[in-house]
Chains A and B, each alone.
Chain A
Amino acid sequence: MKKIYIFWLRQIKKYLRVKARIAGSLFQPILYMIAMGYGLGSVFQQAGQGNYIEFLVPGIIGMNIIFSSMFSGMEVIWDRQFGFLKETLVAPMPRFNIMLGRTLGTATICATQGLVVLLLATLIGFRMENWLMIVPAYLVMFVISMLFTSLSTMIGSILKDMQGFQAVMNFLIMPLFLLSGAMFPLDNLPKFLSVLTSVDPLSYGIDAMRAVLINQSHFSLGLDSAVLVALSLVFLFLGGHYFKKIQI
């Protein structure tokens, strides 16, 4: 338990020590919220869909989480190139626990970043109907973060070079983000698009956040949670499996 905790703590410490990274990770969502939120707000309202900022904020939180968590697998490659991975691979503990500690740490960071975006959003016009809903919202953010951090760790354990990793991530992140309904409602889409959105795990994450924060949902909070938890476990075990197989 303590060994998992020390890997969790390592992630948190490393994150907090790079202030530029914290600032950078918050700049993009604020820009999106202002540009898209105010830019498209009136069109959205004229189409009878209500307040766009309210609708958009869960999507932007999802965007922020998927970008941070999907790039986190880079740290496995980083640790491999700078050597620290060797130190952990000869440690007398199950490798799955190393991977679990790292993943929990990164997921905590990504979910907390999402929470900060939510708080910032209240400054530019997002209204929380019930502040208590922050608790389930944070839980949803955490599960989304676990899902994509595990996936990213899996890919980081398989690939060896950073360029390759970046190429794969760019290839995955944009479709996952654009097809998730982060920017547009999932109702009344053309058939092919609605098939694509419903196989995108992020759709369920953002839908769950909308259900909790603005009481709107396309699927249902129950289905969202089931899909998110199940996929997180699947990717956690797959990530653990490939992490165990790393040879130096």
Chain B
Amino acid sequence: MIKVNALSKKFGDFTAVDGISFDVAAGEIFAFLGPNGAGKSTTIKILTTLLQPTSGEVLINGQDPVHHPDLVRRSFGIVFQDPSTDDDLTAWENMDLHGILYDVPDSSRHARIEELLKLVDLYDRKDSPVKEFSGGMKRRLEIARGFLHHPKIIFLDEPTLGLDPQTRNHMWTYLRELNKTEGTTIFFTTHYMEEADRAAQRIAVIDHGKIIATGTSDELKRQTGKESLEDAFLALTGHAIREDAAQNTFHAAMRRR
């Protein structure tokens, strides 16, 4: 469903993503882990047509995001790291606007919106402006919105950041449900290792722009001889806090602006 081959992205002389390759199978739940500034968000932006790669090949549902961005855009849904709803519009209006942008036909759109809003427990708040929502409610709305157009893949960039365990748990219940009933491939990043351990069928670890390990959680634990995924992750990426890496992404972000 996702094929990445020797993908690189440079910002000036800083290499954010350095020749990475990986595959994600259809229907798989795939975690993309790495310390801050490792290249996770840059990779997601390339996969979702928001950034152009410097070199390498990407196929999303068989299509190349550089040459056929609109075909690729139809095939995925995305929940960004920060909110991306229109706070002045209601939950329903945000959903409806998305449905129209993605050509969900009038005949099925309203039923689909109702179904998804009920799934994420927001149907009774459908006519409230999103600015009245808490962070967790906004995130649930964005998840519902991401699935609205029946995407083949859903990208989730730290979807549970700053959410309480209750909300996090509920979110994964919806996500697993949709993964099972609609066969949607799930590609997510997170800093919560036990979340990756529990949810992901396969994991890739990226650091300094390179993929340093891939496999199931158990394979990564065995490979590093550690008990938990967190320890395995630290064994792979080291204990040092990524100040220079964070600095680099900061500069890269500034350059991007």
Interface pair A87/B84, CB less than 8 Å apart: yes
The 0/1 profile, CB within 8 Å of A marked 1, for residues 226-237 of chain B is 000000000000
Q: Assuming the A-B contacts A6-B101, A93-B101, A247-B50, are A82 and B70 also in contact, with contact meaning beta carbons closer than 8 angstroms in the complex?
A: no
Interface of A is mostly: helix
Within 8 Å CB of A10, what residues of B?
A: 86, 89, 97
Q: Is B118 part of the contact surface with A, judged by Cβ < 8 Å?
A: no
Q: Is B49 part of the contact surface with A, judged by Cβ < 8 Å?
A: yes
Q: For the complex, what is the distance from the CA of A2 to the CA of B89, rounded to whole Å?
A: 18
Interface pair A88/B50, CB less than 8 Å apart: no
Q: For the complex, what is the distance from the CA of A243 to the CA of B103, rounded to whole Å?
A: 22
Interface pair B73/A90, CB less than 8 Å apart: yes
User: Which range holds the interface residue count of chain A?
Assistant: 20 to 34
- Nearest residue (CB) in B for A246 is B50
Interface pair B50/A248, CB less than 8 Å apart: yes
Within 8 Å CB of A93, what residues of B?
A: 70, 101
Within 8 Å CB of A91, what residues of B?
A: 73, 98, 101-102
- Nearest residue (CB) in B for A95 is B69
- Nearest residue (CB) in A for B256 is A247
Interface pair B50/A86, CB less than 8 Å apart: yes
Interface pair B89/A13, CB less than 8 Å apart: yes
Q: For the complex, what is the distance from the CA of A248 to the CA of B51, rounded to whole Å?
A: 8
Interface pair A160/B84, CB less than 8 Å apart: no
Q: Is B83 part of the contact surface with A, judged by Cβ < 8 Å?
A: yes
- Nearest residue (CB) in A for B78 is A90
Q: For the complex, what is the distance from the CA of A18 to the CA of B88, rounded to whole Å?
A: 9
Interface pair B85/A84, CB less than 8 Å apart: yes
User: Which A3-18 residues have C-beta < 8 A from chain B?
Assistant: 3, 6, 10, 13-14, 17-18
- Nearest residue (CB) in B for A81 is B82
Q: For the complex, what is the distance from the CA of A88 to the CA of B80, rounded to whole Å?
A: 12
User: Which B39-78 residues have C-beta < 8 A from chain A?
Assistant: 45, 48-51, 69-71, 73-74, 78
Interface pair B88/A17, CB less than 8 Å apart: yes
Interface pair A92/B85, CB less than 8 Å apart: no
Interface pair A86/B84, CB less than 8 Å apart: yes
The 0/1 profile, CB within 8 Å of A marked 1, for residues 75-116 of chain B is 000101011111111000100111011110000000000000
Expressed in whole angstroms, the minimum distance between the Cβ of B54 and any Cβ of chain A is 14
Interface pair A14/B78, CB less than 8 Å apart: no
Q: Is B239 part of the contact surface with A, judged by Cβ < 8 Å?
A: no
Interface pair A90/B83, CB less than 8 Å apart: no
- Nearest residue (CB) in B for A161 is B257
Q: For the complex, what is the distance from the CA of A129 to the CA of B126, rounded to whole Å?
A: 49
Q: For the complex, what is the distance from the CA of A86 to the CA of B79, rounded to whole Å?
A: 10
Question: Which among A13, A83, A89, A90 is the interface contact of B85 at CB below 8 angstroms?
Answer: A83
B48, B78, B101, most chain A CB atoms within 10 A: B101
Pairs across A and B, CB under 8 Å, 25 listed: A6-B96, A6-B100, A10-B89, A13-B88, A13-B89, A13-B93, A14-B86, A79-B86, A82-B83, A83-B80, A83-B82, A83-B83, A83-B84, A84-B84, A84-B85, A86-B50, A86-B80, A86-B84, A87-B85, A87-B86, A90-B48, A90-B50, A92-B102, A93-B70, A247-B256
Given contacts A10-B86, A247-B51, 20 further A-B contacts (CB under 8 A): A10-B89, A13-B93, A14-B86, A17-B88, A82-B83, A83-B84, A83-B85, A84-B85, A84-B87, A85-B84, A87-B84, A87-B86, A87-B145, A88-B101, A90-B49, A90-B78, A91-B98, A92-B74, A247-B50, A248-B50
